Structure 1
Amino acid sequence: MAEYHVLGKMKRFSLYSLLSIVALGVTIYLFTDYKYVDTILVEGNYYVSEEDVIIHSGLNNDQLFLAIDQHKIEFLVTSHPVIQSVTMTKQFPNDIKIEVLEHKVIGCLEEENNYFQLFSNGYREQVSPLTSCQGSIITGVNAYFNDMLLESFINEFSKIGKDTLSQISETIYSPNEFNKNRIISYMTDGNKIIYTIDTIHKLNYYKDMVNQIYLTYDGEVNGVFDFEVGAYFTPYDTVK
């Protein structure tokens, strides 16, 4: 009986101790700066500055940490036209982490001697100087394509793999009498690719075709890859 009485006291003491610790923790939280947001971490951003992400989130150090609404913050940040998706997480005791995924950059659009960073969602952001523009220079497309064709061009171009996309130095709208949607891309390795909006997807085969040409000609040979109809290669020294 005495042993039971002692155990009861120990349990009550443990409960009181736990409640005291919780009460102390709540007191510290409520009456110190721990209740407010401290550090706001931004990850995954490249084109959008950390400051811009935080501004769009509406977060600041005067807000109560526990009152932060994750879904609201994610919604606000994705209102930025360059940001595709967002994940916000709380990191105790009072830090916030915002991870962003930006829309893919497909090139630098030239328009009346101005240059715009062109993103896969169609958003354009003017850049200056030109050296700060990422991706290939895209010339003539915006001036000659109607809105529907330009949208198709952007949608298809955004599907090109990063490896091939990074090798394109310049893209030019170059119609001829046979095809008004003809496009030419100049590659950093010295080759040229001719294609149309409907055959942009063939650019994803470019790397494999270059490797095959290397084997066929027993070394590196530059020339023209024609993807308008089918896919074939003509060395520069045989182009008339």
Structure 2
Amino acid sequence: MFKKENNKSSSSKFKKWRKLQEKRRLEHEKAQHAGRYHPDPGLKMTNSIQKRRLFRKTIPLLTIFGLTALISLYSIMPISRLASLDVSGGDKQTKNAVIKASGLNYYESLFSIWPDKSKIEKRISDKVGNVKSVKLSIRRFNHVNLAITEYRIIGYVERDNLYYKLSSSGMTVNYGVEDFDGSYPVFYGFNNNRRLLKDMALQVDSVDRKVRGCISEIHFEPSKVDPERVHVYMNDGNEVIAQISTFSRKINYYPQYTAKMKFKGIIDLEVGAYAYPKN
């Protein structure tokens, strides 16, 4: 009798324990769904580390994707296109020559301009003889500026009724004009001899400024005796016959020569220095 009561008591306790465990399990599941579940601290730390590692791996991909999206968006916007082109320095002829030599066009993509910045600067320096240096810069997002430094201008070279600016380096602008600044001398007849044109330019650049201002025209007129012969017309009506290689040294004495002359004539500086009246 005692054993049977004891067995019934044990069975009743076991059932109560099972019900308690089932109740705890249900509460545990509810707590998980409700967000009140607190896992093991070690497990929580492991999950946190994994999340940080995953985030670090994701950052470069997100950055690349973001930059690609921004570049793509920028490339289709008007702001990515050339809106204006201006030149700082030089006169109208030089500015036009620089713009033509740059090869840049309105609404051209800036992506094709900035990577070729050095090439564009060199192309301008090579094609525009009086330009000593060029600096390309982009202002206000899509406005290009070309800042130039020029060699000193010493005259104009005449070719087929057009006038090309001549610099102190002996180089000429590739683009001619019909009208020119009359305060500079004009070089004639040098079309087929660039070397002697450069030599003459260097000679004229070495002439005293006051004397250089008296020169109106320089004609290249070689002879069998003197392949460097030039015929120079002065603003005061006199003329000078000279040799290219000794031009600057001898022409600097022009004021002294004319001071002794009582007539408008021709001063021959090829061999020595003497003057005679015009025929």
TM-score, normalised to structure 1, is: 0.56
Among 180, 197, 204, which residue is 1:154 paired with?
A: 197
Q: Which amino acid aligns with 1:227?
A: L
Residue 199 (structure 1) aligns with: 246
Q: CA deviation at 1:224?
A: 4.0
Residue 89 (structure 2) aligns with: 44
Residue 156 (structure 2) aligns with: 107
Residue 60 (structure 2) aligns with: none
Q: CA deviation at 1:115?
A: 2.8
Q: Matches of 1:51 and 1:180 in 2, distance apart?
A: 33
Preserved contact between residue 105 and residue 117 of structure 1 (Cα < 8 Å):
no
Preserved contact between residue 266 and residue 276 of structure 2 (Cα < 8 Å):
yes
Preserved contact between residue 121 and residue 136 of structure 2 (Cα < 8 Å):
yes
Q: Which amino acid aligns with 1:200?
A: F
Distance change (3 Å), C-alpha of 1:100 and 1:235: same
Preserved contact between residue 56 and residue 80 of structure 1 (Cα < 8 Å):
no
Preserved contact between residue 127 and residue 173 of structure 2 (Cα < 8 Å):
no
Q: CA deviation at 1:172?
A: 3.1
Q: Does 1:61 align with 2:111?
A: no
Deviations 1:58-81 (A, max 9, x none): 254343479723313313433534
Q: CA deviation at 1:87?
A: 1.8
Q: Matches of 1:124 and 1:37 in 2, distance apart?
A: 25
Residue 88 (structure 1) aligns with: 136
Distance change (3 Å), C-alpha of 1:167 and 1:92: same
Q: Does 1:72 align with 2:119?
A: yes
Q: Matches of 2:177 and 2:239 in 1, distance apart?
A: 26
TM-score, normalised to structure 2, is: 0.50
Q: Helix, strand or coil for the counterpart of 1:158?
A: helix
Residue 121 (structure 1) aligns with: 171
Q: Percent identity?
A: 18
Distance change (3 Å), C-alpha of 1:220 and 1:41: farther
Task: List gaps (5 residues or longer) in structure 2.
Answer: 1-69
RMSD: 4.5
Task: List gaps (5 residues or longer) in structure 1.
Answer: 1-26
Residue 97 (structure 1) aligns with: 145
Among 221, 224, 231, which residue is 1:184 paired with?
A: 231
| Number of residue pairs aligned between Structure 1 and Structure 2 | 195
Preserved contact between residue 83 and residue 100 of structure 1 (Cα < 8 Å):
no
Q: Matches of 2:120 and 2:88 in 1, distance apart?
A: 15
Q: Matches of 2:194 and 2:100 in 1, distance apart?
A: 30
Preserved contact between residue 98 and residue 124 of structure 2 (Cα < 8 Å):
no
